[in-house]
A and B are shown apart, each in its own frame.
Chain A
Amino acid sequence: MRADGPRAPGLPETEASLLARAQAGDVGAFERLSSAYADRLFMLLLRLLGDRGEAEDVAQEVMLRAWQGITRFRGQSSYFTWLYRIAVNEANRVLAKRARRPAGVPLGADELQLPAPAALDPSRQAENSELRRALARALGDLPPPLRTALVLRDVEGLSTQEAAEIAGVGEAAFKSRLHQARLRVRAAIGDEALASTGG
């Protein structure tokens, strides 16, 4: 079903009304609408870019572009999907600029680590931290399209359909990227390290 007007019929009323007001030029409504996703979007940018300063800059740019394009949003996807797609496009633009650099792109391993679960004993916590660092490095070494696929599907936990839409490719192409990314990360980390996860 297509939305004929600026308001998406599937949206909750609060989001739909905020969207309508934002599309009418209400900056405050746009902020309230988008702030619900700001933390998650920032985390996505941190994972894709690996640099906090750059992620902050790109997050501002994403919100600006969303504001500038809000009148074109017709609700054919969720607002979240639309916003995430802008974020991925902006991150890829930054990563493409970086591609000319001779050295590998650091992915901010420290920022990407999670605290090890408290229930683990110290030796398992150490293994866990080491694995997280290795994962962060391996993610950072992936070409941007593969990194995006892995982050959207496995880290963010989005469905293949939604992740493919955000990445701007068909589902078959997205899956191909995802599988390539997993094979490369597995090769980079090694089965022995993965065996320690107990997953």
Chain B
Amino acid sequence: MRVRGRSDDHEWSQQHLSHYVEGDLRPRARRRLDRHARGCVDCGRGIRAMRALVYAVQGLGGLAGVRAPGTVFDRVRLAGTGGAPSSPNA
């Protein structure tokens, strides 16, 4: 049975932590990363860090109190006084 060396699995795992957290790895690849992370402190920490990163970025989600400016339709109103919209590519 071939046992992959750390130099092979470690770099690959580090590059696929986001895929792992996102659930984008195929079962075989997920098992590969799981197997490696069980014995690798760096990659175990990496998985936790990637989960924390996604959680933190999601926390930026609601800019409470931010509203679109009242001017947001000004150009539409100016253009709209001419009648029906024309059809350039949007």
Residue of B nearest to A192 (CB): B49
Q: How distant is A146 from chain B, measured CB to nearest CB, in Å?
A: 12
Q: Are B48 and A195 touching (Cβ within 8 A)?
A: yes
Q: How distant is B37 from chain A, measured CB to nearest CB, in Å?
A: 14
- The answer, yes or no, to whether A170 is at the interface (CB within 8 Å) is no
A194: which B residues are within 8 A, CB to CB? 49, 52-53, 56
- The answer, yes or no, to whether A13 is at the interface (CB within 8 Å) is no
Cross-interface CB contact of A131 among B50, B56, B68, B79, cutoff 8 Å: B56
Known: A72-B87, A183-B18. A114 touches B68 (CB 8 A): no
Q: Are B72 and A59 touching (Cβ within 8 A)?
A: yes
Query: A73 vs B69: C-alpha distance in the bound complex, in angstroms?
Result: 25
Query: A162 vs B85: C-alpha distance in the bound complex, in angstroms?
Result: 27
Query: A175 vs B87: C-alpha distance in the bound complex, in angstroms?
Result: 33
Query: A156 vs B71: C-alpha distance in the bound complex, in angstroms?
Result: 24
B81: which A residues are within 8 A, CB to CB? 27
Q: Are A157 and B61 touching (Cβ within 8 A)?
A: yes
- The answer, yes or no, to whether B1 is at the interface (CB within 8 Å) is no
Q: Are B58 and A71 touching (Cβ within 8 A)?
A: no
- The answer, yes or no, to whether B7 is at the interface (CB within 8 Å) is no
Interface residues of A in 79-126 (CB under 8 A from B): 82, 86, 111-112, 114-115
Q: Are A182 and B18 touching (Cβ within 8 A)?
A: yes
Q: Are A46 and B66 touching (Cβ within 8 A)?
A: yes
Q: How distant is B61 from chain A, measured CB to nearest CB, in Å?
A: 6
Q: Are A72 and B90 touching (Cβ within 8 A)?
A: yes
Q: Are B84 and A25 touching (Cβ within 8 A)?
A: yes
- The answer, yes or no, to whether A3 is at the interface (CB within 8 Å) is no
- The answer, yes or no, to whether B27 is at the interface (CB within 8 Å) is no
- The answer, yes or no, to whether A14 is at the interface (CB within 8 Å) is no
Q: How distant is B6 from chain A, measured CB to nearest CB, in Å?
A: 19
Q: How distant is B57 from chain A, measured CB to nearest CB, in Å?
A: 4
Q: How distant is B60 from chain A, measured CB to nearest CB, in Å?
A: 5
Residues of A within 8 A of B (CB): 22-25, 27, 30-31, 34-35, 38-39, 41-43, 46-47, 56, 59-61, 63-73, 82, 86, 111-112, 114-115, 131-132, 135-136, 150, 154-157, 175, 178-179, 182-183, 185-186, 189, 191, 194-195, 197-199
A-B pairs, top 10 by smallest CB distance, nearest first, are A69-B90, A199-B55, A25-B84, A27-B80, A38-B68, A42-B68, A179-B18, A191-B49, A64-B75, A194-B52
